[in-house]
């Protein structure tokens, strides 16, 4: 699979006061895992295991991860 190792697929801005917490849900539809397949000349979902990073900034030291499996 050619393409960047990390790409932004979703975000949500949440305004919180000091000490406040919130749960946030960000949907990642199948199209979030599409890449251009040059041999078929179209966007395709590549099945496999993906690492999803999440957190309050893009700084790697502040991110948490979870793994998801995308099937065909």
Element (H, E) at 54: strand 48-55
Neighbouring C-beta atoms of residue 69, cutoff 10 Å: 8
Q: What are phi and psi of 31, to 5 degrees?
A: -60, -20
DSSP state of 18: T
Nearest by Cα to 47 from 62, 61, 60, 30: 30
Q: Show contacts of 36-44: CB within 8 Å, 24+ apart.
A: 36/3, 38/2
Global model pTM greater than 0.75: no
Q: pLDDT tens for residues 45-71?
A: 888 899 999 988 878 888 999 999 988
Give tens-digit pLDDT for 18-46: 999 999 999 988 888 888 889 999 999 88
């Amino acid at each position: 699979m050619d393409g960047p190792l990390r790409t932004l697929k979703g975000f949500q801005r949440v305004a919180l006061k000091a000490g406040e917490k919130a749960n946030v849900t960000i949907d990642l539809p199948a199209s979030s895992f599409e890449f251009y397949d040059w041999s078929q000349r179209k966007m395709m979902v590549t099945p496999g295991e993906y690492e999803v990073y999440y957190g309050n900034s893009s700084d790697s030291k502040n991110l948490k991860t979870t793994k998801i499996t995308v099937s065909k």
